[in-house]
Structure 1
Amino acid sequence: MGNIVVAGPNEVVVVSGGCVKKDSTYVVGGSAWKTWCVSQSHRMSLEVMTLLPSVTSCETLKGVPMNVRAVAQVRIKHEIEHLKKACEQFLGKKPHEIEEIIINTFAGHLRGICGGLEVEDLYRNRERFAQSVIEEAAPDAEKMGLEILSFTYKRPHRRKRVP
């Protein structure tokens, strides 16, 4: 006895447990069988997440404090190995918790790259800066089962020093 569990095209359903199979079943846009009292299922969204990472008081190469803001579009990859990684990291978490984890990852990379550049580089080469962040953050995103669809760096704001 059991149930059929259906997943939409924008979500993954993970069916785990059971007597026969030891691996979980990952279903995107399809269905799976869930045995009563033996198996359990969990859902996770695969929709694109729009994130707003920002860093305040980030010091540049010459010690000038800057406020850096960006917009990033990320999503969980649909391949099975990436779904497994994402489910290990995020399954059972609320969407805002997932977004916070990813934003903190981006913020660390923003701070690191900003610290290696001068203020003029941040103003003149915004596309190169954004590309650098993508290149730096992509391996960490990959480890979480994510792919960075886009990353846009907003105009920086110079923070005034307090005397």
Structure 2
Amino acid sequence: MHSVIAIHAAADRNAVPLDTITLDHDERRVRRKLLRGANGTEILLDLPQATTLDHGQWLELDTGGLVQIIAAPELLYEIRARDTAHLIRLAWHIGNRHTPAQLDEHRILIKRDHVLKTMLEGLGANVTNATEPFFAEHGAYHSHNHADGGHALLARP
């Protein structure tokens, strides 16, 4: 089993990965976890605090190899509104229910939940099925690895 010694932003590397690890939104939130790559590489990730791994990031292994993180497609609802003010109101209702949401300029994505779909349609939203990677916003007190320029470097053993 390999250990992760550093995490690098996607732009930091232009290499062929030893392996890839595909994770959904919730699985990309990690602190200590055993991961298995598509090619069978076993990796122990042991971070000082919980971190969200981003699509395209590279995990540098104790052997010098690199493993790339891939965001898995998920079953989502795409929410569209009549105009910007309507989209803001819809976002407020979603947030009021503490539902993770990806906020884009002209749409909101949430995980599929028929109760929320019914509520949003009742508020005049156009809600359709989507299947794509999910990148929900993080709360104000949520630790994220961009605080240091996109690198969550670990102490080398």
Q: What is the TM-score of this pair, normalised by structure 2?
A: 0.24
Comparing both chains, which one has the higher relative contact order based on Cα–Cα distances under 8 Å and sequence gaps of 6 or more? 2
Comparing both structures, which one devotes a greater share of its residues to helix? 1
